[in-house]
């Protein structure tokens, strides 16, 4: 994900200080990885250079951290373009889970055990996300759901694979 | 293990020649939400039916608060279903002839509570589940999500100790499903009721405290990695 | 107790006010029960209707027992025919101011006055009936009220007899004679009546039972949902009972209303010569109470019976266990018991009333066997059927899943059919026993017989000769012959050779010959040549007056059979030369009517009216019937009316079933239609679902009916006669009924398969 676009998007709702931007960003998107200050300012200076944001004033007291930034028209166009450009679907052909299951099967180990272990771990994560979602605001719900659906997809694939493999096992046995 | 409310031990049950349960065991502690997971046809629903006393297992014992269900008379088991248990199924559990508030009041009325009292209690519960606005409609006139929330209200109206939920979101889209689960879980937590939650959706199971996996009629107890 | 009331309240709540579908269900079952109740109430009113009629008849009869201090009223009656109608004319003459009057008459009418019944007043008022008005030109001084006229369509007339009335045959000292206890019915007739009642009422009860079981699948689902929420089996039973009870009670109300409504309309209805006053149609109180009690009880019992499996399986919603296979044993046992009762009548005296009841019980069991065997037969037949076009397959599969409901309803129709076939065969066979002339009369509107007392015989002959419409007149005299006092007598008719030649086509008649009809063997009856017999005249009294002794001649000639049909002699026919001199006997004048004159018969009757009660006439096509024969005909008529009614009822119940089927399976039907199955195929599948049980029903009903008739006629050693065309017609009627019902359901099927039907929950 592009941090630059995210910051531009946040600035679209009104001019903010760099510190403000970091706080709002973390609140909405930074659950797992809060932004470092340095990252915020380096990104802002890149946006400034490209003419997508401009300085809209300085709070008394000086220093770069007290600067306010506002989005420019070019910045608005840029955000709009970014939003309507579809993300290319991520295709997980190289996931570790897949590798584990295949290896378990190849080596004659129980795929069910892999599944059960993975289910416990996945569900544990899902439970935490669900709990966070229950207490959080809309943004929390959205981000948690996003993660939950992905985890669920993993689990479903595992279930399906296991079911197929046990069928295959039966076929081989008979 | 302390505080076990309901337990089924080595349950076996077959329909015709096909075994649905082949030695399944599980326990439910007070206030606990247990998800029963597994592929279709694995015996999840049958396990729930046995635990709820709807279906009698061929062998094995179901014990609720120290009493064995199979030793009870039909009347006692009915009273149990009415007072101590609540049910939320995928669909079809609402009586289409009755209005929604009458549906929610039904378990109370079957226990002999006066109509007025029963219906005012029912309205309270419908309020908690955010469906008090449609109390006088009939099941056929409301959406699936609303219907399921009414079903949850009905399951909770008698202040049950255990709620049996069999794919409660199975016929709903994700949003409605989330809403039903959120309300079911939060009200259950408030009242201290346990939930036996049969589902094949991990997302729904994620509302539980613990899961039990059923495969080919057998339960696989998976201990949490500490 | 409160808990019970509580459960009942829930049941009532489920039955009423539950949205459109439950309203439809409620209406269907209410209508079904209502119709059955109305029919039952009507059936239970038959006794009182007959009683009331008898009462009025008896109240109008003169009492000839002399009473001191009463100046009697002379009384004569005459039946005057007008077209097909019969007018009862009563002539009255009072001896004094205290003379008794028939009920409903203020003062005894003078010769130029008359009281008429309402129906006769209407008939006289009709301008088309001027000939009738000419016959009775008297001034109408009053119309008789309903309370004194036997039936609404009765044509009754009271008029003054004038001085001639002193010669009237009866002298009344009072009117109204005690209601005679009717003689016990002929066991054969009683059997017929019982059999008919059973055949007609069994389907009504079947209909009743199936009406209260409407939407069984839906109800099972609802009740198992209740079970799930924690009602115990007792509660579910009570709830279900209350639910059906509501339908049954509503049906009772509707039935009562239908009954009252139908009663009001009875005034205008005359069905096969039966007409009834609405006020008379009051059910026998204990039968009405029985209906009132039996309907709810039956409803609740059928509902409880239907619940057998739901009770065991609170998860009926979730798991459909395979339906229990029907057992054959007890079904066959019922029929077998019926056969045993018919074959071995337990040493009960044949032809006693008890015998009739025992036979009727056996017959009931056999008839009940039809609806009892049918579900088994349908189930086992359809389970063997395979293949065929898709509509056929849909129907078969559906029947394999649940054949009970349709089999039950068709059972009603099949019972009517079996009963009708049996009755009809028994009737046909008994018709021989009662030797009722065939209903198809010879259209001989051209000859007429006039009877006249000896004192007016010549006058009558003269009047008839001069009447408009008369072509030719011949006259014979009637006497009786007897071997000795107290013995039964034979009829003797005296006619001259002209008459014998013209009427009986005996061209070589010689005066002095004696003739006998083909069906009589005089020797076997004791008429041996040279034997002395007595010629007597009954003259209305019971003691015959001996007119002469007659030595039976040496030979008797045979009359050609063909001519007997036209003018039966009923005994011996003698020319005057064969007999000693006799005073004037009862003359019978035979009139040949002129076919060219319209209403020739009415003209002759009008002319004869001047002789009033002393002469009467009858067209030769009208048979004269005995009491038993009349009873037999009444029963036969009643049974036919009833069969039509019941068959109609069967049709209605089939329709209700078919509609219910569509309603209950609305969604699957809509899905089939949405996935491209043409409505025609669905309609055909519905037709099959009715047609297959009906075909099997016919296959059971016809043998059952004929078997029953065989068993019954075997008892009386009569030869079974089956009217095969009649059976074919009834079978066709049942088939047509099925087809008609299927057609009637088409619009409903259309609306069910509109795609928006999918939307409903």
The predicted-structure confidence for C450-464, as pLDDT tens digits, reads as follows 877 777 777 888 888
The more confident residue out of C347 and C549 is C549
pLDDT cut 70: percent of chain B above it: 96
CATH label of the domain that carries residue B208: 3.40.50.300
Among C134-148, C448-462, C647-661, C682-696, the minimum mean pLDDT is found in: C647-661
The answer on pLDDT for C428 being more than 90 is no
Phi-psi label, residue B60: left if phi above 0, alpha if psi -120 to 50, beta otherwise? left
Query: Which span out of C78-87, C339-348, C353-362, C539-548 was modeled with the highest average pLDDT?
Result: C78-87
Interface membership of C212 toward B (CB under 8 Å): no
Q: How far is B176 from chain C (nearest CA, A)?
A: 17
- Tell the burial category of A91 from Cβ atoms under 10 Å away from its Cβ (0-12, 13-18, 19+): exposed
Interface membership of B195 toward A (CB under 8 Å): no
Question: What range does the domain containing A74 cover?
Answer: 3-84
Dist. CA C64–CA C28, nearest whole Å? 59
Predicted confidence at residue B29, as pLDDT, reads: 92
Q: Which candidate in B49, B54, B85, B110 is best for mutational testing of the C interface (most C CBs within 10 A)?
A: B110
Residues near C39 by Cβ (< 8 Å), separated by ≥ 6? C204, C645, C646, C649
Q: Do chains B and C touch (3 or more CB pairs under 8 A)?
A: yes
Query: Which span out of B109-123, C21-35, C226-240, C580-594 was modeled with the highest average pLDDT?
Result: B109-123
Three-class SS string for C653-708?
Answer: HHHHHHHHHHHHCHHHHHHHHHCCCCHHHHHHHHHHHHHHHHHHHHHHHHHHHHHH
Dist. CA C471–CA C457, nearest whole Å? 19
Confidence of residue B161 (pLDDT cuts 50, 70, 90): very high
Predicted confidence at residue C273, as pLDDT, reads: 57
The more confident residue out of B99 and C561 is B99
R_g over Cα of chain A: 23
Provide the mean pLDDT of chain B: 85
- Give the end of a domain, one of A50, A84, A118: A84
Q: How far is A114 from chain B (nearest CA, A)?
A: 12
Mean pLDDT over C532-544 rounds to 73
Count of residues in chain C: 761
The answer on pLDDT for C312 being more than 70 is no
The answer on pLDDT for C437 being more than 70 is no
Q: B29-54 pLDDT, tens per residue?
A: 999 999 998 888 888 888 988 898 88
Does a structural domain hold residue B22?
yes
Indicate the Cα dihedral angle B137, B140, B144, B147, nearest 10°: 40
- Tell the burial category of B191 from Cβ atoms under 10 Å away from its Cβ (0-12, 13-18, 19+): middle
Q: Do chains C and A touch (3 or more CB pairs under 8 A)?
A: no
Residues near C316 by Cβ (< 8 Å), separated by ≥ 6? C220, C221, C223, C224, C227, C309, C310
Tell me which chains share at least 3 CB pairs under 8 Å with chain B.
A, C
Cross-strand bridge partners of residue C94 = C73
Query: Which span out of A158-167, C212-221, C267-276 was modeled with the highest average pLDDT?
Result: A158-167
Find the largest Cα–Cα distance for chain C: 103
CB contact under 8 A, B78 and C222: no
Query: What angle do helix axes A37-49 and A3-11 make, rounded to 10 degrees?
Result: 80
CB C374 within 8 A of CB C701: no
Q: Report yes or no for ipTM above 0.90.
A: no
Does a structural domain hold residue A138?
yes
Please check whether residues A102 and A40 belong to one and the same domain.
no
Query: What angle do helix axes C19-44 and C627-664 make, rounded to 10 degrees?
Result: 170
CB contact under 8 A, A148 and B203: yes
Q: C619-635 pLDDT, tens per residue?
A: 765 555 555 566 666 66
Q: How far is B184 from chain A (nearest CA, A)?
A: 12
Does a structural domain hold residue B126?
yes
Q: Count the domains in chain A.
A: 2
Q: Which candidate in C8, C215, C228 is best for mutational testing of the B interface (most B CBs within 10 A)?
A: C228
Please check whether residues A101 and A75 belong to one and the same domain.
no
Interface membership of B112 toward C (CB under 8 Å): yes
Residue C408 DSSP SS3:
helix
Mean pLDDT over B61-88 rounds to 86
Nearest C-alpha neighbor of C417 from the set C644, C209, C636? C644
Running DSSP on this structure, what letter comes out for residue C274? B
Alpha helices in B41-173 (DSSP H): 44-52, 74-83, 100-110, 115-128, 144-156
Where is C571: in which H helix or E strand?
strand C571-574
Q: C214-271 pLDDT, tens per residue?
A: 666 677 777 777 877 777 778 888 888 888 888 888 889 998 998 888 888 776 666 5
Residue C197 DSSP SS3:
helix
CB B194 within 8 A of CB B200: no
Chain A residues in contact with B208 by the CB 8 A cut-off are 127
CB C649 within 8 A of CB C203: yes
Write out residues 21-40 of B within 8 Å (CB-CB) of A.
Answer: 39
Chain B residues in contact with A120 by the CB 8 A cut-off are 222, 224-225
The beta-carbon neighbor of C232 closest among B74, B94, B115 is B74
Predicted confidence at residue C750, as pLDDT, reads: 80
Q: Provide the number of CB pairs (under 8 Å) joining chain A to chain B.
A: 47
CB A104 within 8 A of CB A162: no
Dist. CA C532–CA C483, nearest whole Å? 7
Please check whether residues A68 and A7 belong to one and the same domain.
yes
Tell me which chains share at least 3 CB pairs under 8 Å with chain A.
B
Q: C555-614 pLDDT, tens per residue?
A: 888 887 766 655 667 788 888 888 887 776 667 787 877 777 777 888 888 888 887 787
How much of chain A is helix, strand and coil, in % rounded to 5? 70, 5, 25
Residue C73 DSSP SS3:
strand
Predicted confidence at residue B32, as pLDDT, reads: 92
Predicted confidence at residue C88, as pLDDT, reads: 86
CB C58 within 8 A of CB C176: yes
CB contact under 8 A, A152 and B207: no
Q: Which tokens is C611 given? A: 């002789």
Does a structural domain hold residue B49?
yes
Phi then psi for residue B196, to 5 deg, are -105, 115
Q: Between vectors from CA C480 to CA C475 and to CA C483, what angle results, nearest 5°?
A: 150
Q: Between vectors from CA A143 to CA A142 and to CA A146, what angle results, nearest 5°?
A: 90
CB contact under 8 A, B106 and C315: no
CB contact under 8 A, B225 and A121: yes
Does a structural domain hold residue B66?
yes
Please check whether residues A30 and A79 belong to one and the same domain.
yes
Query: Which span out of B25-29, C292-296, C335-339, C690-694 was modeled with the highest average pLDDT?
Result: B25-29
Nearest C-alpha neighbor of C417 from the set C16, C101, C727, C63? C727
Dist. CA C137–CA C132, nearest whole Å? 9
Q: Do chains A and B touch (3 or more CB pairs under 8 A)?
A: yes
Nearest C-alpha neighbor of C516 from the set C579, C571, C577, C479? C571
Where is C460: in which H helix or E strand?
helix C457-466
Interface membership of C310 toward B (CB under 8 Å): no
Dist. CA C535–CA C550, nearest whole Å? 7
Chain C residues in contact with B85 by the CB 8 A cut-off are 230
User: Tokens 């030979």 label which residue?
Assistant: C555
Q: How far is A97 from chain B (nearest CA, A)?
A: 17
- Give the end of a domain, one of A38, A62, A84: A84
Q: Which candidate in A124, A134, A138, A140 is best for mutational testing of the B interface (most B CBs within 10 A)?
A: A134
Residue C346 DSSP SS3:
coil
The more confident residue out of C366 and B226 is C366
Does a structural domain hold residue B93?
yes
Chain B residue nearest residue A116, CA to CA: B222
Please check whether residues A77 and A15 belong to one and the same domain.
yes
Count of residues in chain A: 174
CATH label of the domain that carries residue A53: 1.10.10.10
Burial per residue of C626-645, b for 16 or more beta-carbon CB atoms within 10 angstroms, e otherwise: eeebebbbbbbebbbebbeb
Does a structural domain hold residue B226?
no
Q: Please report, in angstroms and rounded to a whole number, the separation of the first and last CA atoms in chain C.
A: 37
Mean pLDDT over C632-657 rounds to 71
Question: What range does the domain containing B188 cover?
Answer: 4-220
Please check whether residues A68 and A114 belong to one and the same domain.
no
Indicate the Cα dihedral angle C220, C226, C230, C234, nearest 10°: -60
Predicted confidence at residue B198, as pLDDT, reads: 92
Q: Which tokens is C728 given? A: 């074919």
Phi then psi for residue C299, to 5 deg, are -60, -50
Where is C550: in which H helix or E strand?
strand C545-551
Q: C316-366 pLDDT, tens per residue?
A: 544 444 455 667 888 888 888 888 887 775 555 656 667 777 777 888 888
The answer on pLDDT for B10 being more than 60 is yes
CB contact under 8 A, C230 and B79: yes
Among A64-78, C205-219, C530-544, C592-606, the minimum mean pLDDT is found in: C205-219
- Tell the burial category of C165 from Cβ atoms under 10 Å away from its Cβ (0-12, 13-18, 19+): buried
Q: How far is B224 from chain C (nearest CA, A)?
A: 33
The beta-carbon neighbor of C18 closest among B94, B98, B115 is B98
User: Tokens 């054959």 label which residue?
Assistant: C328
Provide residues of A within 8 Å CB-CB of chain B: 112, 116-117, 119-124, 126-127, 129-130, 134, 145, 148-149, 151-152, 155-156, 159, 163
Chain C residues in contact with B109 by the CB 8 A cut-off are 6, 10
Q: Count the domains in chain B.
A: 1
Does a structural domain hold residue B225?
no
Predicted confidence at residue C394, as pLDDT, reads: 79
CB contact under 8 A, B202 and A156: yes
Burial per residue of B198-218, b for 16 or more beta-carbon CB atoms within 10 angstroms, e otherwise: bbbbbbbbbbbbbbbbbbebb
Tell me which chains share at least 3 CB pairs under 8 Å with chain C.
B
- Strand pairing class (B4-15; B59-64): antiparallel
- Give the end of a domain, one of A84, A115, A142: A84
Dist. CA C298–CA C209, nearest whole Å? 7
Please check whether residues A104 and A155 belong to one and the same domain.
yes
Interface membership of B17 toward A (CB under 8 Å): no
Predicted confidence at residue C563, as pLDDT, reads: 66
The more confident residue out of C250 and C649 is C250
Predicted confidence at residue C432, as pLDDT, reads: 62
Residues near C249 by Cβ (< 8 Å), separated by ≥ 6? C296
CB contact under 8 A, A134 and B220: no
Confidence of residue C760 (pLDDT cuts 50, 70, 90): very low
Listed in order, strand segments (DSSP E) in chain B are 4-15, 18-29, 33-37, 59-64, 67-68, 85-88, 162-166, 194-198, 210-215, 218-220
Predicted confidence at residue B93, as pLDDT, reads: 74
The beta-carbon neighbor of B202 closest among A112, A123, A145 is A123
Q: How far is A169 from chain B (nearest CA, A)?
A: 15
The answer on pLDDT for A94 being more than 70 is no
Chain B residues in contact with A112 by the CB 8 A cut-off are 215
The more confident residue out of A105 and C455 is C455
Predicted confidence at residue C417, as pLDDT, reads: 81
Residue C25 DSSP SS3:
helix
Chain A residues in contact with B222 by the CB 8 A cut-off are 116, 119-120
Confidence of residue B224 (pLDDT cuts 50, 70, 90): very low
CB B58 within 8 A of CB B12: yes
Listed in order, strand segments (DSSP E) in C419-521 are 447-452, 470-482, 490-495, 514-516
Interface membership of C230 toward B (CB under 8 Å): yes
Chain B residues in contact with A156 by the CB 8 A cut-off are 202
Please check whether residues A20 and A63 belong to one and the same domain.
yes
Provide the mean pLDDT of chain C: 77
Predicted confidence at residue C761, as pLDDT, reads: 38
- Strand pairing class (C113-116; C139-143): parallel
Predicted confidence at residue B163, as pLDDT, reads: 92
For C227, other C-beta atoms within 10 Å of its C-beta total 24
Listed in order, strand segments (DSSP E) in C453-544 are 470-482, 490-495, 514-516, 532-537
């Amino acid at each position: 994900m592009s941090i630059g676009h995210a910051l531009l998007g946040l600035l679209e709702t009104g001019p903010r200080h760099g510190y403000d931007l970091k706080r709002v960003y973390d609140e909405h998107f930074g659950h797992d990885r809060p932004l470092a200050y340095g990252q915020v300012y380096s990104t802002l200076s890149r946006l400034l250079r490209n003419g997508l944001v401009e300085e809209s004033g300085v709070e008394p007291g000086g220093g770069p951290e007290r600067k306010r930034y506002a989005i420019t028209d070019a910045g608005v166009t840029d955000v709009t373009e970014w939003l309507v450009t579809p993300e290319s679907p991520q295709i997980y052909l190289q996931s570790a889970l897949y590798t584990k299951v295949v290896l378990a099967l190849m080596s004659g180990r129980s795929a069910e055990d892999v599944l059960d272990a993975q289910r416990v771990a996945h569900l544990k994560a899902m439970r935490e996300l669900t709990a966070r979602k229950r207490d959080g605001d809309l943004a929390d719900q959205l981000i948690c759901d996003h993660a939950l659906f992905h985890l669920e997809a993993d689990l479903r694939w595992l279930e399906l694979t296991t079911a197929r493999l046990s069928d295959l096992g039966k076929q081989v046995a008979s | 293990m302390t505080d076990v409310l309901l337990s089924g031990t080595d349950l076996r049950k077959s329909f015709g020649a096909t075994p649905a349960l082949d030695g399944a065991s599980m326990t439910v502690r007070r206030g606990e939400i247990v998800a029963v997971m597994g592929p279709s046809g694995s015996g999840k629903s049958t396990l729930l039916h046995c635990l709820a006393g709807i279906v009698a297992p061929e062998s094995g014992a179901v014990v609720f608060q120290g009493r064995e269900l199979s030793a009870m008379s039909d009347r006692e088991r009915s009273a149990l279903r009415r007072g101590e248990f609540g049910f939320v199924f995928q669909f079809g559990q609402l009586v289409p002839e009755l209005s929604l508030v009458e549906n929610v009041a039904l378990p109370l009325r079957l226990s002999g509570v006066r109509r007025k009292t029963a219906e005012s209690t029912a309205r309270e519960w419908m309020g908690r589940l955010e469906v008090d606005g449609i109390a006088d409609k009939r099941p056929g006139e409301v959406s699936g999500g609303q219907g399921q929330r009414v079903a949850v209200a009905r399951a909770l109206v008698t202040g049950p100790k255990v709620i049996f939920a069999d794919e409660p979101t199975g016929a709903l889209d994700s949003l409605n499903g989330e809403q039903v689960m959120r309300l079911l879980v939060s009200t259950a937590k408030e009242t201290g009721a346990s939930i036996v939650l049969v589902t094949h959706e991990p997302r729904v199971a994620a509302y539980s405290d613990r899961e039990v996996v059923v495969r080919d009629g057998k339960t696989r107890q998976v201990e949490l990695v500490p | 107790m409160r808990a019970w009331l509580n459960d009942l309240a829930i049941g009532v709540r489920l039955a009423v006010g539950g949205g459109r579908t439950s309203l439809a269900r409620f209406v269907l079952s209410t209508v079904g029960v209502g119709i059955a109740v109305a029919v039952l109430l009507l059936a239970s009113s038959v006794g009182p209707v007959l009683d009331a009629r008898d009462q009025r008849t008896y109240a109008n009869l003169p009492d000839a027992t002399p009473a001191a201090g009463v100046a009697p009223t002379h009384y004569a009656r005459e039946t005057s025919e007008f077209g097909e109608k019969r007018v009862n004319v009563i002539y009255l003459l009072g001896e004094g101011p205290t003379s008794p009057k028939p009920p409903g008459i203020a003062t005894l009418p003078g010769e130029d006055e008359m009281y008429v019944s309402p129906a006769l007043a209407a008939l006289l008022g009709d301008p088309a009936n001027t000939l009738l008005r000419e016959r009775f030109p008297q001034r109408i001084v009053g119309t008789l009220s309903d309370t004194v006229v036997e039936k609404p369509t009765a044509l009754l007339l009271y008029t003054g007899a004038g001085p001639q009335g002193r010669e009237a045959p009866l002298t009344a000292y009072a009117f109204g004679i005690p209601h005679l206890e009717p003689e016990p019915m002929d066991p054969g007739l009683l059997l017929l009546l019982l059999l008919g009642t059973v055949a007609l009422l069994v389907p009504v009860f079947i209909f009743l039972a199936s009406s209260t079981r409407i939407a069984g699948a839906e109800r099972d689902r609802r009740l198992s949902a209740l079970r799930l929420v924690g009602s115990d089996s007792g509660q579910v039973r009570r709830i279900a009972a209350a639910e059906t009870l509501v339908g049954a009670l509503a049906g009772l109300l509707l039935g009562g209303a239908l009954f009252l409504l139908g009663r009001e309309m009875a005034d205008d209805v005359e069905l096969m010569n039966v007409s009834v006053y609405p006020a008379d149609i009051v059910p026998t109180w204990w039968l009405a109470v029985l209906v009132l009690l039996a309907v709810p009880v039956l409803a609740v019992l059928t509902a409880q019976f239907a619940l057998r499996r739901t009770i065991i399986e609170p998860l009926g919603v979730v798991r459909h266990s395979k339906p229990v296979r029907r057992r054959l044993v007890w079904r066959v046992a019922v029929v077998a018991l019926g056969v045993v009762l018919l074959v071995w009548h337990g040493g009960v005296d044949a032809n006693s009333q008890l015998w009739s009841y025992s036979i009727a019980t056996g017959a009931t069991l056999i008839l009940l066997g039809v609806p009892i065997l049918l579900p088994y037969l349908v189930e086992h037949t359809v389970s063997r059927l395979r293949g065929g076009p898709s509509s056929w397959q849909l129907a078969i599969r559906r029947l394999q899943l649940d054949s009970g409901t349709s089999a039950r309803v068709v059972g009603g129709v099949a019972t009517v059919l079996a009963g009708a076939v049996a009755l009809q065969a028994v009737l046909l066979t008994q018709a021989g026993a009662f030797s009722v002339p065939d209903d198809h009369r010879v259209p001989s509107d051209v000859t007429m017989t006039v009877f006249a007392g000896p004192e007016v015989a010549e006058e009558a002959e003269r009047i008839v000769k001069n009447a408009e419409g008369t072509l030719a007149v011949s006259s014979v005299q009637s006497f009786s012959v007897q071997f000795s006092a107290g013995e039964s007598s034979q009829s003797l008719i005296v006619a001259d050779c002209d008459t014998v030649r013209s009427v009986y086509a005996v061209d070589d008649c010689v005066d002095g010959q004696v003739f006998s009809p083909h069906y009589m063997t005089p020797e076997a009856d004791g008429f041996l040549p040279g034997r002395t017999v007595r010629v007597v005249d009954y003259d209305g009294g019971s003691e015959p007056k001996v007119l002469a002794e007659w030595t039976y001649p040496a030979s008797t000639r045979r009359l050609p059979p063909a001519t007997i049909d036209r003018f039966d002699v009923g005994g011996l026919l003698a020319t005057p030369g064969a007999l000693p001199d006799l005073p004037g006997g009862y003359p019978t004048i035979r009139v040949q009517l002129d076919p060219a004159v319209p209403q020739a018969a009415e003209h002759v009757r009008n002319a004869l009216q001047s002789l009033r009660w002393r002469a009467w006439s009858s067209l030769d096509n009208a048979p004269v019937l005995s009491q038993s024969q009349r009873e037999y005909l009444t029963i036969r008529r009643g049974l036919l009316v009833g069969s039509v009614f019941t068959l109609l009822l069967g049709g209605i119940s089939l329709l209700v079933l078919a509609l219910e089927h569509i309603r209950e399976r609305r969604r699957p039907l809509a899905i089939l239609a949405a996935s491209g199955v043409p409505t025609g195929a669905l309609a055909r599948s519905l037709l099959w679902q009715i047609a297959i049980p009906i075909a099997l029903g016919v296959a059971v009903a016809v043998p059952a009916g004929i078997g029953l008739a065989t068993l019954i006629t075997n008892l009386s050693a009569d030869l079974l006669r089956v009217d095969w065309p009649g059976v074919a017609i009834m079978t066709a009627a049942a088939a047509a009924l099925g087809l008609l019902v299927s057609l009637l359901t088409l619009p409903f099927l259309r609306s069910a398969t509109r795609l928006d039907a999918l939307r409903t929950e």
